[in-house]
Structure 1
Amino acid sequence: MKFLIFIGGLVLSQASLAVSALPVSQIAPGIYFHQSAHHWPDQHNHGEIANLGFIVGDKCVAVIDSGGSPQQGIALRNAVKQATDKPICYVINTHVHPDHIYGNLAFKQPGVQFIGHYKLARAMASRGNHYLGRAAELLDIHVNQDNIIPPDLQVKDQMRVNLGNRELLLTAHASAHTDNDLSIYDKTTNTLWLADLLFLEHIPVIDGSIKGWIAELEKLEKNHYQLVIPGHGKPVQNWPAAMQAQKTYLTSLRNEIRNMLKQGKTLEQAVDQAGLNAKGDWQLYDEFHRKNVTIAYAELEWED
């Protein structure tokens, strides 16, 4: 006989409650981090491919991204419970991609507020049916509209949240990786959680604006941070040196495509020819590079 337990509107089976805590490391005082491997999302990894974590204050906890599956969300929630007795007060979704939001339902309970970029709700609404329709086939997970939870609090420019003697500064960025990227800065440790605005080893994935992404990186590289946490890859202390490979890839690709457009080359030619010299520099190049070229070409084609 299966027993069901209701927590904040979420139905959990005993099997769900028995999910092991997600492995996390405390990489700075009060900052807990789970690093995922660089994989194409599929039925073997269930879309659990993004870095996740949480920040603990004196009063409560902010979860940063919830995972690529409902089960990973439960595992992350269990990791929070293992690390602290402080309640979760915020779930911060850094952008719309499924590997960052499919665990949201595990945290939907009284006292928890979801935070996101002011364009996140619109992105969830426009992409939700497409994401949900492919989840079972591609990722072997079962999700529905309940798993896509729009933000209760929307960040238009910047927002400060206090976890109890620990203030986080949330920044809504211009279109870059997506058009709904959010970063989190922890003043206490001088840590910037950049999520998918920063890719290390894994090829950067453009789903917003190549020009906007370069512009955001140029702003960020002027600042000093003790620790920077990417959406894919290891946390780094050598900022801004750590982001130069990504910046080089994006700027080189932009420049190549601009030259091809001046020469009258077609999209098909650009997809076949642009960025070939970067192939050996990045994991998952074959899976994402051609799409990057397609998106960048479409944007740059309309430059004045």
Structure 2
Amino acid sequence: MVGMDHACVPVQSGGSFAGKALPMFEAVLTLCLALAGQECRPVLLPGYEALDEAGCRAALAADPPVPAESLAGLVAAGAPECRPAEAALAFEEVAPGVLVHLGRIAEADRENLGDIANLGLVIGTRSVAVIDTGSARWMGEAIWRAVRARTDLPVSHVILTHMHPDHVFGATVLAEAGARVVGHAALARALADRQENYLESLAGLIGRGALIGTAVAPVDVVVADRAAIDLGGRVLDLRAWPPAHTGTDLTVRDRDSGILFAGDLVFDGHAPALDGSLRGWQAALEEMVEGGEGRVVPGHGGPVLPWPAGGADTRRYLGVLAADTRAAIDRGDRLSDAVPAIAAAERDRWQLFDQHNARNATVAFTELEWE
């Protein structure tokens, strides 16, 4: 059996949510990889949580679950059953009703199981929004438990800040629970083009067992420019950006707290990763700075930084990347000769620099040589 307890805590209330009666049992369906013997995982079936086992069983009997399309291709080891609730993902309340999960600054591996990105919850008076969902279904399940530990309100929206796998692959279980998946207008196509490669890469990094039940959730609401989501008593402002960190970047600002969820447009500690347009990323950050002061949740690091000071390191790195790349192009350097030197002065300022900078330099060179 594959354990899923990294960066999780027992389901419990805390802070302003104390006193809530917590679900102690949940429904699961154990699924196994058909070609992997005993490699199995109990997959959460959302919506059947109860204070006791009898309540969970009664809920299953009243509304038997229909296996989701995302679970196709797996072998069920028995029927759905009720078990004691597993651990919830750890979230810190950074403002009333705004919570952040801090992912590790690391590459995905079999120890962290892909828990490497920051995730968010925003709780209104009518519903909850989840911002990013991690690398696999197990993370979406742990997010669901974290919500249920704090409120009975439905999760109405799952907002995906961009296409990278450490932000999107936990969404299916929340969609099964009734949430609408929200993303940049280019997100659905980008994921359709990349999901096979993303999942194959993740399988090698965290193991196929940890990915059981993981799939791309369909995007229900597309944002081409700006949009707003009313959770009841608080509104989230969404902004879709032209190509920057990726071609699918979306930011989320909570009007009530002023906190901006920047996705990977802002990095802290973790070396930035360029998968879109260097000039576009620089322009997006400049516009975000002009938007005024506040606080920001970066895609990695933090988890909460003052704004605009919290974006200064990312802006500096991109500036060095651009300046060094233009200098190499002006000298007539070949790409292979230029890459090792581009932004080398930044190496000691970032974790995972060597894992990302060479690709950044390659993308930057390819873009800027046509200026």
Q: Where does structure 1 lack aligned partners over 5 or more consecutive residues?
A: none
1:10-61, Cα deviation, whole Å (9 max, x unpaired): 4796599743000111100110110011001122222210001210000000
Superposed counterparts of 1:259-298, under 5 Å:
259-298=327-366
Q: Aligned residues: percent identity?
A: 37
Contact persistence 1:104–1:148 (CA under 8 A)? yes
In structure 2, do the counterparts of structure 1 residues 110 and 272 end up closer, same or farther at CA, with 3 Å as the change threshold? Answer: closer
Offset at 1:255?
Answer: 1.0
What's the TM-score, normalizing by structure 1?
0.93
What's the TM-score, normalizing by structure 2?
0.77
What SS does the aligned partner of 2:358 have?
helix
Counterpart CA distance in 2 for 1:44 and 1:216 is 34
Counterpart residue type for residue 185 of structure 1: R
| 1:229 corresponds to | 297
| 1:116 corresponds to | 183
Counterpart residue type for residue 237 of structure 2: L
The list of structure 1 runs, each at least 4 consecutive aligned residues, that deviate by more than 6 angstroms after superposition, is none
Answer yes or no: is 1:128 the counterpart of 2:195: yes
Counterpart CA distance in 2 for 1:237 and 1:3 is 38
Counterpart CA distance in 2 for 1:74 and 1:17 is 14
| 2:94 corresponds to | 27
| 2:41 corresponds to | none
Which of 148, 161, 164 is the equivalent residue of 1:81? 148
Counterpart CA distance in 2 for 1:132 and 1:227 is 33
Counterpart residue type for residue 105 of structure 2: H
Which of 241, 247, 256 is the equivalent residue of 1:179? 247
| 2:231 corresponds to | 163
| 1:196 corresponds to | 264
Contact persistence 2:169–2:214 (CA under 8 A)? no
Offset at 1:271?
Answer: 1.1
- Structure with max Cα Rg: 2
Answer yes or no: is 1:255 the counterpart of 2:350: no
In structure 2, do the counterparts of structure 1 residues 108 and 238 end up closer, same or farther at CA, with 3 Å as the change threshold? Answer: closer
Count of paired positions: 302
Contact persistence 1:176–1:208 (CA under 8 A)? yes
| 2:111 corresponds to | 44
Offset at 1:9?
Answer: 4.3
Counterpart CA distance in 1 for 2:253 and 2:157 is 15
Contact persistence 2:191–2:216 (CA under 8 A)? yes
What SS does the aligned partner of 1:272 have?
coil
Q: Where does structure 2 lack aligned partners over 5 or more consecutive residues?
A: 1-26, 30-44, 46-63, 72-78
Offset at 1:95?
Answer: 0.7
What SS does the aligned partner of 2:88 have?
coil
Counterpart CA distance in 2 for 1:79 and 1:39 is 23
Counterpart CA distance in 2 for 1:232 and 1:7 is 36
Counterpart CA distance in 1 for 2:121 and 2:81 is 25
What SS does the aligned partner of 1:108 have?
helix
1:103-128, Cα deviation, whole Å (9 max, x unpaired): 11221225311000000001001101
What SS does the aligned partner of 1:273 have?
coil
Counterpart CA distance in 2 for 1:62 and 1:178 is 23
Counterpart residue type for residue 92 of structure 2: S
1:40-99, Cα deviation, whole Å (9 max, x unpaired): 112222221000121000000000011112111100110011111111000111111111
Contact persistence 2:89–2:139 (CA under 8 A)? yes
| 1:152 corresponds to | 220
Counterpart CA distance in 1 for 2:297 and 2:342 is 29
Offset at 1:139?
Answer: 1.8
31-40 vs 138-147, which deviates more? 138-147
In structure 2, do the counterparts of structure 1 residues 74 and 291 end up closer, same or farther at CA, with 3 Å as the change threshold? Answer: same
- For the aligned residues, what is the CA RMSD? 2.1
Counterpart CA distance in 1 for 2:179 and 2:28 is 25
